[in-house]
Amino acid sequence: MEHFSLNSAKSFLGKNVNLHLKDGSVIINVQLTGLRKGEFGKCNFVDYVPYGNQNVMSLPLKSVDRARLLNMLMFQPNG
């Protein structure tokens, strides 16, 4: 599997994903909203918004192992 990098993160911008972190935890159902450089260009950050929330949160890119694309049709009510 490919290492999660800046280029692979760009392909997920604007999409809902599960973020799998290197420590084994998972941040579920977030929308990636942007990528930015940290102070002095030392570290890149991934900005995301949890589903149903308006607050933008950020996470260092180096702590993300991979991202899995979600199928939003699973979350729509049957009707």
CA 45, 48, 49: angle at the middle one, nearest 5? 155
44 membership: H or E segment, kind and range: strand 44-50
- The alpha carbon of residue 72 and the mean position of all alpha carbons in its chain are separated, in whole angstroms, by 15
Tokens of 59: 């996470």
Question: Whole-model pTM?
Answer: 0.82
Strand partners, 34: 47
Q: Which tens digit of pLDDT belongs to each residue from 12-65? A: 999 999 999 999 999 999 999 999 988 877 789 999 999 888 899 999 999 999
